[in-house]
């Protein structure tokens, strides 16, 4: 009986994750615009699952920071005001600058090799137009890079604010020129890790955030 219950729980989690993953892609890649309502009935019709699965998927998206759930209003794709964008990016800049300053330079060869492999994967996905792969490789690159700072709590904070800024970052995901610039920045970061100047690396990590922020602010204003 216990084994059957465990199997059932795994199936439930799989369905929740499948729905959440599909909706996450729609949000990140612009198929669901900020402010779009996500009703349980719509999810039931689209995914042919129980209300429990639909509700849990929305809970997961809320935890990721890309959906907002409010009493008597339901769930909506998270949208950000210019003030919220500026505040989120002020914190992102502080966190990423400090993490870059704490990375011991020159970085170990193993870290360089790992980042180069992720960088190449990012490039392959970019050329193929596989946006899910681009998104995941991008996030893995940055978390691997900042993970070298040696402070797990700082890295967790960076990851949190990466999630909070997803509506902003999604703006440039389908723009090839923006992706190309980001890819070039990654290559420059790898080069700087092999040098001795943390301040230059830190400034690049801050500059890297600006294109998607400015593009989003121009659109919402």
Which phi and psi angles does 67 have, rounded to 5°? -130, 145
pLDDT attached to residue 131: 86
- Average pLDDT on 96-109 reads 98
Which of 20-29, 139-148, 209-218 has the highest mean predicted lDDT (pLDDT)?
139-148
Instruction: Express each pLDDT in 65-79 by its tens digit.
Output: 788 888 777 888 888
Do 88 and 69 reside in the same domain of the chain?
no
Structure tokens at 169: 């970052």
In terms of domains, do 144 and 39 share one? no
pLDDT in tens, 36-66: 888 888 888 888 788 888 888 888 888 877 8
CATH code of the domain containing 24: 1.10.10.10
Host domain of residue 204: 82-220
Distance between CA atoms of residues 11 and 22, nearest Å: 17
For 1-23, letters b (16+ CB in 10 Å) and e give eeeeeeeeeeeeeebbeebbeeb
pLDDT digits (tens, 9 = 90+) for 176-215: 888 999 999 999 999 999 999 999 999 999 999 999 999 8
Same domain? For 62 and 91 the reply is: no
Residues 126 and 40 in one domain: no
Local structure of 121: helix, strand or coil:
helix
Number of domains in the chain: 2
Task: Give the burial class of 73: count Cβ atoms within 10 A of its Cβ; 0-12 exposed, 13-18 middle, 19 or more buried.
Answer: exposed
152 in the same domain as 61:
no
Q: Which of 77, 105, 128 is the last residue of a domain?
A: 77
pTM to 2 decimal places: 0.80
Q: In this structure, are strands 37-38 and 67-70 parallel, antiparallel, or unpaired?
A: unpaired
Statement to judge: residues 86 and 73 lie in one domain: no
């Amino acid at each position: 009986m216990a084994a059957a219950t465990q199997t059932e729980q795994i199936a439930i989690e799989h369905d929740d994750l499948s729905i959440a993953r599909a909706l996450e892609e729609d949000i990140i890649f612009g198929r669901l615009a900020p402010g779009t309502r996500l009703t349980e009935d719509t999810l039931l019709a689209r995914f042919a699952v129980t209300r429990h699965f639909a509700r849990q998927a929305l809970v997961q998206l809320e935890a990721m920071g890309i959906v907002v759930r409010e009493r008597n209003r339901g769930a909506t794709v998270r949208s950000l005001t210019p003030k919220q964008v500026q505040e989120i990016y002020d914190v992102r800049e502080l966190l990423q600058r400090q993490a870059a300053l704490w990375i011991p330079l020159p970085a170990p060869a193993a870290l360089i090799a790992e980042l180069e492999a992720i960088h190449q994967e990012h490039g392959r996905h970019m050329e193929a137009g596989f946006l899910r792969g681009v998104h995941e490789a991008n996030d893995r690159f940055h978390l691997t890079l900042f993970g070298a700072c040696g402070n797990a709590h700082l890295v967790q904070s960076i990851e949190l604010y990466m999630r909070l800024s997803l509506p902003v970052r999604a703006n440039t995901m389908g723009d090839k020129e923006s992706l190309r610039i980001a890819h070039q920045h990654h290559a420059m970061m790898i080069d700087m890790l092999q040098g001795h100047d943390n301040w230059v690396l830190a400034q690049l990590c801050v500059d890297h955030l600006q294109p998607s922020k400015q593009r989003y602010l121009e659109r919402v204003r």
